[in-house]
Amino acid sequence: MRFGRTRFAATGGGLHPAGGTTAQLGALGVGPLPPGVRVLGMLAPTALEDAMAGATALVQASVLEGYGLPVAEALLAEVPVTSSPVPAAVEFGPAGLPVFDPRSVTSISEAIDETVDLVERSDYWTRVDRSSWVAGLPTTGDLGRQLLDGLARLDPAW
């Protein structure tokens, strides 16, 4: 695992993968974990919130598209994000979000260091346009109206 060679790791930074196990990483061909890497496994929502609250950044290394909830949740909590270029991040996420190739350890390592550098220089939120992204998010009322409109089209009794 190349994380141990990042500038972030060299200065004591840690990588804490959530959602999987050490055995699953081994099945992917990941060798022994370097110092600073601690697998958190599956976390309850409150434990995940606690882990994110202390994070320098969220590294979202998805190969397949998901709903993008980790990226959205982190950004809403003002946690910087770097992500693979899945549509949830690049099409629906804020402009300027640092992205990387999830199949390239070098690309991921460089993105981690780039993101940490932006955070340390207080330039992350200058590059990533979170405020415009948040302003464009639908409200709970918007989502409720969309749901009711969709149901009404399916069954006029709604």
pLDDT digits (tens, 9 = 90+) for 17-40: 888 787 887 777 777 887 888 888
31/110: higher pLDDT: 110
Task: For 59-85, write each residue's pLDDT tens digit.
Answer: 988 877 666 788 888 888 899 999 999
CA-CA-CA-CA torsion sign (113, 114, 119, 125): negative
Query: What's the pTM?
Result: 0.76
Give me the pLDDT at residue 49, please.
86
CATH of 2-154, one of 3.40.50.720, 3.40.50.2000, 3.40.50.80, 1.10.3720.10: 3.40.50.2000
Percent of the chain with pLDDT over 90: 27
What count of Cα atoms within 13 Å lies in the side-chain half-sphere of residue 32? 2
Q: Tell me which of 12-16, 97-101, 122-126, 141-145 is least confident.
A: 141-145
Q: In the chain, what is the greatest distance between 2 CA atoms, to the nearest angstrom?
A: 62
**Per-residue CA distances from 2 to 6, 19, 39, 40, 94 (Å):** 7, 20, 15, 19, 28
For residue 87, is pLDDT > 70?
A: yes
Query: Domain residue spans in the chain?
Result: 2-154
| 106 Cβ contact list (under 8 Å, min separation 6) | 2
Residues counted in the chain: 158
Q: How much is the mean pLDDT over the chain? A: 86
Alpha helix stretches (DSSP H) within the chain? 7-10, 22-27, 45-53, 69-76, 87-90, 105-120, 124-127, 130-135, 140-154
